[in-house]
Amino acid sequence: MKNKGKKGEAKVYNLKLNIKAISEVLSAVRDYLFPYEKISKKFSKINNEKDLINFVKEKSAFVTQSTLYGYLKTRMGLKQNMMFTDDVFVESVNKAKWNIFAEAVTDLTFFSISFLNKKYNINNLDPYIMYKTILDNEIITGLPKDLCEKYKSKFKEKINSFNIKEYSDKSPFTNSCNALFHWAPIADELKELDKEIVINSIKNKWMLVVADLEKIPVNLK
């Protein structure tokens, strides 16, 4: 039966999956989240703001896809009787995907600007322009316009408390960690059991992104 959550809340479903094999669903989910080349793209240098925006977008997609897909794969494999119909499954995953992605872009935008300021003394980057560019460009790939506007508004508010000197050193990826835990379409009682593992999984992915940024030559003018 479908559990109807309040507006703006993650929906959880306990319906039987109407497909032949779990493996087929998982493969479809992986491809459905973001194009696969996004999560495997390598960056050799960052020479301008456009390069940095692409880095933030692609790495945010990588973190979103790998953690959401990984969590769903684990839970669907261990709890085969807790499944979804095709339409409901796609709807719930799509909602989770975009909410987690928007928060991931928030985290990495702030982190990258703070990191580059600390390492290279770069202080002419506009976080809102970067964030707005990324989200607006995702509308053509399926990001709902109302969700886009909602997160741009939230981001503007967060800029007021953004400390460029300290952000990269103080739990910089909290927004996306919380979003993964909240929006993953898994029953609450199961998510509570998984919380530490889920949060650690996304933190580990962010560590890979940070390691990449530390190694990439940056020549921003």
Q: Is the pLDDT of residue 204 over 80?
A: yes
Q: Is the pLDDT of residue 78 over 80?
A: no
The mean predicted confidence, pLDDT, of the chain is: 82
Query: Which residue matches tokens 């408390």?
Result: 161
pLDDT at 108: 98
What does the DSSP assignment read for 109-160? HHHHHHHHHHHH------HHHHHHHHHHHTGGGT--HHHHHHHHHHHHHHHT
CB 109 within 8 A of CB 164: no
Per-residue model confidence as pLDDT tens digits over 162-184: 999 999 998 899 999 999 999 99
* Cα-based torsion angle of the residue sequence 164, 166, 167, 171 in order, rounded to the nearest 10 degrees: 180
Per-residue model confidence as pLDDT tens digits over 138-147: 999 899 999 9
Most confident range (mean pLDDT) of 41-45, 88-92, 137-141 is 137-141
Across the range 106-133, mean pLDDT stands at: 96
Could you give the C-alpha distances from 104 to 55, 99, 120, 219, in angstroms and in order?
A: 12, 9, 23, 24
CA angle centred on 30, ends 5 and 154, rounded to 5°:
50
Q: Is the pLDDT of residue 16 over 80?
A: no
